[in-house]
Amino acid sequence: MNKYNIWIHLGIAAIIIGIAALAGQIRNWESSYSTPTIGDIPDTIAEKPIAVERTNTESEPEVLVKFRPEVTAEEIQRLTAMSNDRIEDEIESVQPLYAIDDLDNSTAEDVANQYREMKDLVIYAEPNFEISLDDPSNTSPAQSNLLREDVSKVEPNDPMFGEQWALRNDGQNGGKAKADIDALKAWLKTQGSEDIVVAVLDSGVDYAHQDLVNNIWFRPDNIPAYQDDELGIVDDKYGYNADANSGDPMDQNGHGTHCAGIIGAEGNNGKGVTGVNWKVEIMPLKFMGRGGFGTTKNAIEAINYAVDRKKAGVNVRVINASWGSTQYSKALEDAIRAAGEQGILFIAAAGNNSTDNDRRPHYPSNYDLPNVISVAALDRDDALASFSNFGVKTVHIAAPGKDILSTWLNDQYREASGTSMATPQVAGVAALIVANEPKINVQDLRKRLLSSVDSLDVLKGKVENAGRLNASMALED
């Protein structure tokens, strides 16, 4: 090798080393960019994000990112700005979950990947694939037709279905479109099951009503008649009447029949209305008389009955309690706790005094038990109903409860309002979840209901999860 060649080889070597060093640095830069830690997030952002121009029909790709709890809101703000993204929404019910818009020309999957790589900061990230069955503006014409076709398969033929805004609110009678529990989309997955028993603890139920008769529980032959140590044997063919200690829970008031219809008026039978469940087993438990009120003792007797039947093999999963008072009862609390120990969810009305249950407790909704859900009422405009109690610590969820059409005595139908009417919407969705996941336990069932909601600003500071019940989301396991 001559002197000239040596310099050529040294020059080539230097270039190779330089390229290698540059490549390594680039990898470091990439690495430090794609997987930052909290310490890597700058205190300030030098420049504002630059938005890419998009056409009117082109939406910004959105991703849902759940950050680790130790990452603060300020750090998330800086991190998204650093990535030239923008926080679109903070989803309070699943804190700290953020909907983030990309302002570059990236796909949603690419943006999700970018956040997934930040393992020290992010628990998960996923594209927000919007699926809306009743908003064609968000879908292509082909998708829209497909969704309409899907929904048409589960639109019940009950003639009054169009008036049931709680199940599908398309703005009828001046309401706000989509201010509903998204029942149609839920029914694509399940319409309920006759294996699930929901006890309606109330004024009884008109078990002969044309829209309920096929969904009323009756004691199967292999379950022995109810026997109470003090009260003796009761032939509980259709449930239990604690007011008269009999096996005839016929409703003389109408309130219990209304609640039963919301949970499970037979769907798609060409009659009247449909319940949240097309098929379910309603167990009528009567403790309130013709006037619509009853005693604590009889309420406890009826709960004891439900617990006994559960132990005997009846699949009681939910008790609907559309009643209450401001008087605390340790005995009632203990009875509800015992129901929880048997895997029974207890869903209770928050009350109708327009008052704050955090300050002025209402029972049984205020019992701090792991199987109790307290329910506030919404109107057809997604506003908290003027009568509804609230309480950011003690009222857990809101559901439609004003101008609710349902079954009434003697094959009639009637609109009624109250947290009484909001409660069975939640009980109904609970039954749908159990139909879809029969082995779900009471804790997970409660958690699922409370975490599957549409967040509403009007409920912030009023209801614990600030959300409206959503049946469709609740069925996404």
Partner 1 sequence: MSFNQDTAVKRAKEDLASRIDVQEADIKTISVAEREFPDMSLGAPADGELSAQMISSGWVITLNADNNDYEYRADKYQLRLVNFKQTNHVVVS
Which residues are designated catalytic?
202, 255, 420
CA 118 to CA 66: how far, in whole Å? 11
Q: Between residues 191 and 417, which has the closer beta carbon with respect to partner 1?
A: 417
Q: Residue 385's closest CA among 93, 178, 171, 175?
A: 175
DSSP-derived secondary structure for 226-247: EEETTTEEE--SS-EETTTTBS
Q: Between residues 187 and 287, which has the closer beta carbon with respect to partner 1?
A: 287
Q: Between residues 61 and 294, which has the closer beta carbon with respect to partner 1?
A: 294
Rounded to 5°, the CA angle 241-246-247 comes to 80
- CA of 304: how far to CAs of 260, 285, 310, 339, 441, in Å? 20, 11, 10, 8, 20
Residue 200 in contact with residue 250, Cβ under 8 Å?
A: no
Q: Between residues 136 and 292, which has the closer beta carbon with respect to partner 1?
A: 292
The phi, psi pair for 289, rounded to 5°, reads -90, -160
Strand-strand pairing, 62-67 and 122-127:
antiparallel
In what helix (H) or strand (E) does residue 111 lie, and over which residues does it extend? helix 108-116
Nearest distance in Å: CB 322, partner 1: 6
Nearest distance in Å: CB 405, partner 1: 14
Which pair of structure tokens corresponds to residue 225?
Answer: 């008649």
Q: Between residues 95 and 386, which has the closer beta carbon with respect to partner 1?
A: 386
Q: Between residues 242 and 429, which has the closer beta carbon with respect to partner 1?
A: 242
Nearest distance in Å: CB 293, partner 1: 4
Q: Between residues 227 and 295, which has the closer beta carbon with respect to partner 1?
A: 295
Q: Give the ranges where 138-252 is alpha helix by DSSP (H).
A: 141-154, 183-187
Residues near partner 1 (CB under 8 A) are: 202-203, 253, 255, 258, 287-297, 299, 322-327, 329, 349-354, 387, 416-421, 423
Nearest distance in Å: CB 195, partner 1: 29
In the sheet that holds 467-469, the strands lie side by side as 240-241, 279-286, 192-202, 316-321, 345-349, 372-378, 397-400, 467-469, 453-455
Residue 80 in contact with residue 114, Cβ under 8 Å?
A: no
How far is residue 329 CA from its own chain's centroid? 29
Nearest distance in Å: CB 294, partner 1: 6
Residue whose tokens read 């603890």:
201
- CA of 444: how far to CAs of 174, 320, 396, in Å? 37, 18, 15
Nearest distance in Å: CB 260, partner 1: 13
Please enumerate in sequence order all residues whose Cβ is within 8 A of that of 46, keeping only pairs 6 or more positions apart, or say none: none
Q: Between residues 118 and 262, which has the closer beta carbon with respect to partner 1?
A: 262
Residue 467 in contact with residue 398, Cβ under 8 Å?
A: yes
- Amino acid, res. 346: F
Nearest distance in Å: CB 250, partner 1: 16
CA 389 to CA 373: how far, in whole Å? 14
Nearest distance in Å: CB 202, partner 1: 7
Q: Residue 364's closest CA among 373, 353, 354, 377?
A: 373
Q: Residue 81's closest CA among 127, 41, 37?
A: 41
